[in-house]
Amino acid sequence: MSRSKSLLGLTAAVSAAVTLATAGAAHADLAPTSGDAVGVGSDTVQNIANFLADGDSAGDTGYNSTGPKNRVVSFDATPDANDRAGYLNGSTEAAPVALTPTIVLRHGLHPVQRPNGSGAGVAALIADTAHNIDFVRMSRLPKVAEQTSATNATGVGPLRVIKISTDNLKLATATTTNAPDNLTAAQIVDIYKCNTTNWSTVGGTAGTIVPEIPQSGSGTGDSFRADLTALNGGTAVTLGSCVVTVEENDPASLRGNPNAVSPFSEGRKNLYDSGYFNDPTVKYGTTPVPLTSGIKFIATSTYTDARGLYIVFRNSDVASAKAFQPGGVLNLVQDLFYNPNNVGGATPYVKTDAGKADIAAAGATPAYVDCGSGASVTTC
């Protein structure tokens, strides 16, 4: 949960479709110790996890604020503190080349690929026989196939799912847009099939529609594909060739492009518009310039996904006899996420008032639920 961003010397240039960043000399992220709680996964949940670990700019404290021996360290999905994706030096706006950033999961280990998204995060946990990853941030529930793979994986087993908050997923456009104020379910489906290609045909101003969807492995992308199926009467939608892949919840692909449309987290928009992010072109030590999202939601009554945001971990870790902090009685899971037997009379940090304040500061709505474990967890 602490912001462990890659200091890659990335410099950014915003295009209509992507945020470009140039990689310079690489420096390692904070390398967690063997006793730290290490998390990876969802872009949507990363700021929540960061605030839960280290507090926020509004003055709310995080778990690490008291200086515990063992910390919470959450590697963000993206290699930039403004939640932007990284692109290689030499990329052009027409042909960006995505960087594959890396992290060091524990001190003394080699760098490995940074998991970007819910799917990539849970896949990394399932492959983690050495127990270097303790939890995964997810903006969707684990799939039955993922739970089955985890159950069959040596040293992993069924995954426990804890919902920590809710967050609306909506369709977003630039503040100044050619899109209409409302879209029907059929119109949304046809836009993503590329059957409808101009905003003027659905009540907007003339302009070639640029439908966007998050990158492969994104929980937001998976959620939106499922939502398209629901909007299409239960029939899966084959995305058309006009659909552009973007980093989830990065407003740069929408801001300034009146023709773009994308599913977007309401919590992330709230965080942007709270003034948390600053203009990265302004040097430290001078007056910061807060960024706003520059986007708005289409006020459609046919599409809002009130989804949950989750923390996922090995169910076997609930019964671990290893105390998270020296001299303590709580293991890592009991201290941070889930304490079903009320060990030590303690409330897991994410469920405390301080934890709820951190979650709310990140733009989401606190909502703690134990969803259960294993392949039977298909709703929560």
CB 142 within 8 A of CB 233: no
In 3D space, the residue among 369, 368, 343 whose CA is nearest the CA of residue 358 turns out to be 368
CA distance 169 to 183: 15
pLDDT value for 86: 77
Would you give the distance in Å from CA 361 to the centre of its chain? 15
pLDDT value for 90: 66
Segments of 300-343 assigned E as strands: 305-314
| Structural domains in the chain plus CATH codes | 167-307 (3.40.190.10)
> Going by C-beta distance under 8 Å and a sequence separation of 6 or more, which residues neighbour residue 241?
194
Q: Render each residue's pLDDT in the chain as its tens digit; 380 residues.
A: 544 443 333 333 333 333 333 333 333 467 899 999 999 999 999 999 999 999 999 999 999 999 999 999 999 998 888 887 777 776 665 566 778 899 999 999 999 999 999 999 999 999 999 999 999 999 999 999 999 999 999 999 999 999 999 999 999 999 999 999 999 999 999 999 999 999 999 999 999 999 999 987 889 999 999 999 999 999 999 999 999 999 889 999 999 899 999 999 999 999 999 999 999 999 999 999 999 999 999 977 678 999 999 999 999 999 999 999 999 999 999 999 999 999 999 999 999 999 999 999 999 999 999 999 999 999 99
CA distance 277 to 251: 12
Output the DSSP codes for 50-64.
Answer: HHHHH--TTS---GG
pLDDT value for 92: 63
Give the up-direction half-sphere exposure of residue 178: CA atoms within 13 A in the CB hemisphere: 18
CB 338 within 8 A of CB 181: no
CA distance 249 to 254: 10
What proportions of the chain, in percent to the nearest 5, are helix, strand and coil?
Answer: 25, 25, 50
DSSP 8-state secondary structure symbol assigned to residue 238: P
Query: Tokens representing 154?
Result: 């040596």
